[in-house]
Amino acid sequence: MKKSVAIVVLILLSSRLLAQDTLPQFNIRDINTKKILITWINPFGDKCIQLSVQRSYDSLRFFSTFYSAPSPELPQNGVVELKQPKGIKIYYRIFYVLDGGAYFFSASQRGDIFMEAQQTKPIGYNTTGSKDTLTTLIEKPVEEVTWISVYKNSKDSLVQMINQHSFKRFRDSILYRTKDTVLSIGNNQVILKTYIPKPVWRASPYVFTNHESEIAINIPQVKFHHYRLEVLDENGLAFFEIKQLREGNLILDKSNFLHEGWFSFNLYEDEKLKEHNKFYVPK
């Protein structure tokens, strides 16, 4: 009989340990009076190709993604979330996709009572508060973790906190997979600078400088719509206007312009902005 009981206990213990390794564990803890930190452990390594944090005001339905990890393969990571007003229930869960297409959801956790969760008794204690042989086997030592704060574009926007052991992989994934940059601004603090591509100017097909260095207007549909043209100075103020274009092909006299250089314009079709662009006035 005792042998049978021992076998059952070992089976239950093995099942519990395996269950802990099949889902990314995540935790919610307090940062300050306005923010909480949601952290998770990824046991799948590079097999995890997508990992998102979702929130809902219902424990089972209406979850929506508010954060997707740029480096889902990191073993530990975290994201900062604003606290909800007192009295509002909110739930969080982890959605993740593995290599091959399989996807899963973690169990949901209440975000508005995370302090209570931290005060509950840890796994490894029975109801009497004393340790027994079975629970001692599954206890793990708590390792003190250093977290690196990641701000986006400025120090006013804390968006993520990353475990120091995972930071190098996070930094490399940003540097080698994107055009963004990671800048250190102090101990355990970095700013993620988003790459903003320079706009590529394209000449307008309606108002442009032609080969004879003349300012030309070409509007094929002028007979079917009402067109109005505003020419703007370097301060963005309209200083020249044609209230209604009656001909499809016109040449603007250069004496209308204050100087050589770039001028912007607004072209309206039936009083709706059709194009905002610029043209160059040569000498």
* pLDDT score at 235: 82
Going by DSSP bridges, is the β-strand pair 91-98/48-56 parallel, antiparallel, or unpaired?
Answer: antiparallel
Amino acid at 104: F
Are the folds of 12-193 and 207-281 the same? yes
Contact between 282 and 260 under an 8 Å Cβ cutoff? The reply is: yes
CA distance 265 to 188: 48
Domain 12-193 grouped into CATH 2.60.40.10: yes
* pLDDT score at 121: 39
Query: Could you list the pLDDT tens digit for every one of the 283 residues in the chain?
Result: 545 544 444 444 444 433 334 456 788 888 888 888 888 888 888 899 999 999 888 877 888 888 888 888 888 888 888 888 877 888 899 988 898 888 888 888 888 765 444 444 333 333 344 444 333 334 445 556 688 888 888 878 888 888 888 888 888 888 888 888 888 888 888 898 988 888 788 999 999 999 888 999 999 999 999 999 999 988 888 888 999 999 999 999 888 887 888 999 999 999 999 999 999 998 7
- Delimit the domains of the chain by residue range: 12-193, 207-281
Q: What is the CATH class of 207-281?
A: mainly beta
* pLDDT score at 113: 64
Predicted structure pTM score: 0.44
* pLDDT score at 270: 95
Contact between 163 and 171 under an 8 Å Cβ cutoff? The reply is: no
* pLDDT score at 215: 92
CA distance 232 to 230: 6
